[in-house]
């Protein structure tokens, strides 16, 4: 199914969770995640299912003033 990931179209398997998306993307370090502008607490990653058309933002800290 199709989702928007950081503003770009992205294909993932049906009934994927945030946890499995993180594994698939090989994300490490510290990040935070929003689905459709709602923040998903880290503890909820395994229980949060992604639906077709979801708008997912994954952010981290970078250099800034």
Partner 1 sequence: MPNSSTDALSIAGVDYSSRLLVGTGKYKDMDETKNAIETSGAQIVTVAIRRSNIGQNKEEPNLLEVIPPDKYTILPNTAGCYDAESAVRTCRLARELLDGHDLVKLEVLGDEKTLFPDIPQTLDAAKQLTDDGFKVMVYTTDDPIMAKRFEEMGCVAVMPLAAPIGSGLGIRNPYNIRTIVENANVPILVDAGVGTASDAAIAMELGCDGVLMNTAIAEAKNPVLMASAMKKAIEAGREAYLAGRMPRRAYASASSPIDGHFF
Interface contacts to partner 1, rule CB under 8 A = 5-7, 25-27, 29-34, 37, 39, 41-42, 57-65
* Unique residue bearing structure tokens 């945030």: 18
Minimum CB–partner distance for residue 17 and partner 1 (Å):
17
d(CA 11, CA 40) in angstroms, rounded, equals 20
Instruction: Report CA-CA distances (Å) from 16 to 9, 25, 58.
Output: 16, 12, 16
Q: 14 vs 60, which CB is nearer to partner 1?
A: 60
In whole angstroms, how close is the CB of 59 to partner 1 at the nearest point? Answer: 5
């Amino acid at each position: 199914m199709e989702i928007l990931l950081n503003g770009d179209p992205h294909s993932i398997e049906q009934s994927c969770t945030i946890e499995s998306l993180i594994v698939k993307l090989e994300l490490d370090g510290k990040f935070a995640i929003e689905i459709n502008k709602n923040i998903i607490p880290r503890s909820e990653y395994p229980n949060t299912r992604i639906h077709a058309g979801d708008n997912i933002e994954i952010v981290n800290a970078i250099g800034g003033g």
